[in-house]
């Protein structure tokens, strides 16, 4: 069978200053600049009958209202069933791009600038990938990576049956799966699935970044293949999407920012490089076979789960979403949350639930016990629409590869059970069935019923209760049977769009420092291989420069300045700060750091800063210096 395949990259970086960052859920983590631009990497496939689109986004989470906005703007032939929009789950991206209130607490509400930047970028990537369709050969390969993840919830993992534990001897999922795209015999794209949280950068970081998976893609594209993100014509696209990463952490030292080193930036680079190296080491077996897609929307708060999926021979029912006390404790290995709460037992909440709440509702007890319930979620859902309750469950097929799209974070054993369902129905090789977590929406965590009873962070965040995974297995079983039999899947009822409570606008009444002009150089120094320059700045929110840059490092070549790095490069860091600390009408400064890479060509260099006021763009530059 012959395929057409296309690929493309687009910038989806939202606000990088005075905007809360999504992932860790800590209000103190407000963005103050940029380290690595966020990208959408899109891959279009066509087999003469069926189209598929996979878009991998350097985003903390994917939300249904964003997906809806994007789908309405895609070329004809692409819809909710055959488009998968998935996130790498960086915890250092801007918040505010959904209407669901829980995820906007760190940024004060819905932020149109960030939403539009993300939506426009995803649409641009997908549209370009469709236009890029050309004859291609696909290959699939597998490998293993054992030094880029650790189980952060071992107490819960150990409650699983021995057979499940034996499948993961190190309590991690080491499988690396690579789908390669060749055109005219040349490698044109690669998609590498591997399970590890995108949390090498800690909640103390204030720079927007794609974290370890963003770096893995950057390393392969920019440093190995020489892609220039600003020229709009990438010759190669590499994406590193997630699988079942719910309990997988890159912090090998079992503490935030620890492992393999004590430097969060270096950890991000190392874990990214290890994923890249595992990808290039994986095999490449040519594949053929049809493309196919199924999707259904499920109300996870009200699923009757049949006995064959519950594990105890009896039917059970899920419940409306309820976060547990453990969910507010945070995942200690990646970043603690609220003091006074902890994974496991929380005596006050546990006792109130056991003796006061559960006796009043046997159904709630069956679904949610032993979770220590916290918020009155039914009331808050009606008043504020905190979280989604309906989610799209998807199954895509690319030849022998099956992708189970789950709108949330799935632990490795929960993922194994979902994979076994699809493999059992379709006859696929288990290694070729992957859970694509963080896809098309967000419904928080999914643990096994056994893991759920431990009420670690992941179990406390399994909102719909102990039977949530069996409900998903039942749903995925239906999709797999429909795909196998060539029959349609029931669409179900989608989540209604949430109301958007706008954040208070940032006032960007910029003032230059007294006696200075915008873009003026305030200071410049060099310490070894690090150059630091400080400029009179304007607020980055005036123009997000999507598809552009706030920073350029230039080299003098034949009497002309040539760009060698920008704010999307690992070697640069861009910091912005108000000079006075005032909330409005303040002057500000931009600090640019360039760490001169090893092997940089000798010559004359300079650093340029580009900014924007309401009156228009401006630039500033350092004096030339020698490298």
* Residues that are catalytic: 249
Helix runs in 255-297, H state only = 264-281
Other beta carbons within 10 angstroms of residue 36's beta carbon come to 27
CA distance linking residue 428 with residue 401, whole number of Å: 8
- Nearest one of 532, 510, 535 to 586, comparing CA atoms: 510
Backbone angle region of 424, left / alpha / beta, with phi > 0 → left and psi within -120 to 50 → alpha: alpha
- In angstroms, rounded to a whole number, what is the distance separating the alpha carbons of residues 302 and 319? 6
Q: 30: how many CB neighbours lie within 10 A of its CB?
A: 16
Q: How far is residue 584 CA from its own chain's centroid?
A: 32
Quote the strand ranges of 13-145, DSSP E. 17-23, 30-34, 39-46, 51-57, 83-87, 92-94, 134-144
Residue 370, preceding peptide bond in cis (omega within 30° of 0): yes
CB 368 within 8 A of CB 381: no
Secondary structure of 515-584 in HEC code, one letter for each residue: CCCCCCEEEEEEECCEEEEEEEECCHHHCCCCCCCCEEEEEEECCEEEEEEECCCCCEEEEEEECCCCCC
Tokens representing 106 are 């760190």
Q: Could you tell me which residues come within 8 angstroms of residue 257 by beta carbon, excluding any fewer than 6 positions away?
A: 200, 201, 202, 204, 251, 263, 264, 267
Q: What is the DSSP letter of 432?
A: G
For 293, half-sphere exposure in the C-beta direction (CA atoms, 13 angstrom radius) is: 21
Beta bridge partners of 393: 296
- CB distance 11 to 28 below 8 Å: no
Count of Cβ atoms closer than 10 Å to residue 506 Cβ: 18
**What does the alpha-carbon distance between residue 126 and residue 118 come to, in Å, rounded to a whole number?**
12
155, 102 Cβ separation under 8 angstroms: no
Q: What's the distance, CA 231 to chain centroid? A: 25
Radius of gyration over every alpha carbon of the chain, rounded to an integer in angstroms: 24
Dihedral sign from CA coordinates of 22, 23, 27, 28: negative
């Amino acid at each position: 069978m012959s395929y057409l395949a296309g690929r493309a990259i687009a910038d989806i970086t939202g606000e990088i200053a005075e905007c809360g960052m999504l992932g860790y859920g800590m209000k103190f983590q407000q963005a103050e600049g940029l380290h690595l631009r966020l990208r959408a990497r899109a891959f279009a496939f066509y087999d003469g009958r069926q189209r598929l689109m996979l878009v991998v986004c350097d985003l903390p989470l994917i939300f249904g209202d964003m997906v809806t906005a994007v789908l309405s703007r895609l070329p004809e032939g692409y819809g909710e069933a055959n488009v998968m929009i998935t996130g790498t789950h960086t915890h250092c991206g801007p918040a505010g791009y959904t209407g669901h209130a829980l995820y906007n607490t760190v940024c004060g509400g819905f932020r149109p600038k960030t939403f539009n930047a993300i939506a426009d970028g995803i649409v641009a990537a997908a549209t370009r990938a469709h236009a890029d369709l050309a004859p291609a050969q696909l290959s699939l390969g597998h490998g293993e990576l054992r030094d880029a993840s650790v189980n952060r919830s071992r107490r819960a993992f150990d409650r699983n049956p021995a057979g499940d534990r034996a499948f993961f001897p190190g309590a991690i999922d080491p499988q690396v799966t690579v789908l390669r795209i060749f055109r005219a015999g040349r490698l044109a794209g690669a998609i590498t699935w591997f399970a590890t949280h995108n949390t090498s950068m800690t909640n103390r970081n204030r720079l927007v970044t794609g974290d370890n998976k963003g770096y893995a893609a950057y390393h392969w594209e920019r440093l190995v293949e020489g892609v220039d993100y600003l020229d709009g014509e990438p010759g190669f696209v590499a994406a590193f999407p997630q699988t079942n990463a719910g309990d997988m952490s890159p912090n090998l030292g079992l503490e935030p920012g620890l492992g393999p080193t004590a430097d969060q930036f270096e950890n991000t680079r190392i874990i990214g490089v290890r994923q890249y190296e595992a990808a290039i080491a994986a095999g490449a077996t040519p594949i053929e076979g049809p493309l196919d897609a199924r999707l259904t929307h499920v109300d996870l708060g009200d699923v009757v789960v049949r006995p064959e999926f519950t594990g105890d021979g009896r039917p059970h029912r899920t419940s409306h979403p309820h976060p547990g006390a453990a969910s507010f404790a945070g995942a200690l290995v990646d970043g603690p949350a609220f003091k006074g709460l902890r994974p496991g037992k929380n005596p006050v909440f546990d006792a109130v639930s056991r003796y006061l709440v559960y006796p009043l509702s046997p159904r709630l007890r069956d679904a949610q016990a032993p979770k220590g319930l916290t918020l009155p979620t039914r009331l808050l859902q009606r008043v504020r629409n905190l979280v989604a309750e309906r989610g799209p469950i998807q199954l895509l097929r690319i030849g022998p590869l099956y992708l189970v799209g789950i709108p949330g974070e799935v632990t490795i054993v929960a993922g194994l059970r979902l994979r076994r369902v699809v493999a059992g129905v379709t006859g696929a090789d288990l290694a070729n069935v992957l859970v694509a977590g963080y896809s098309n929406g967000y419904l928080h965590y999914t643990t096994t019923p056994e893991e759920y009873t431990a009420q670690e962070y992941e179990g406390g965040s399994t909102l719909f209760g102990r039977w949530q995974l069996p409900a998903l297995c039942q749903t995925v079983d239906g999709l797999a049977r429909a795909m196998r039999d060539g029959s349609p899947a029931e669409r179900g009822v989608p989540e209604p769009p949430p109301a958007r409570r706008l954040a208070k606008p940032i006032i960007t009444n910029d003032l230059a420092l007294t006696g200075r002009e915008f873009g003026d150089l305030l200071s410049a120094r060099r310490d070894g291989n690090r150059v630091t320059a400080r400029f009179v700045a304007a607020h980055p929110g005036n123009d997000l420069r999507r598809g552009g840059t706030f920073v350029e490092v230039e080299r003098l070549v034949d009497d002309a300045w040539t760009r060698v790095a920008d704010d999307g490069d690992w070697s640069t860091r861009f910091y912005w700060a108000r000079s006075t600390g005032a909330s409005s009408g303040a002057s500000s400064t931009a600090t640019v750091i360039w760490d001169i890479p090893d092997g940089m060509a000798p010559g004359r260099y300079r650093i340029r800063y580009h900014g924007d006021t309401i009156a228009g763009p401006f630039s500033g530059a350092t004096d030339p210096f020698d490298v």
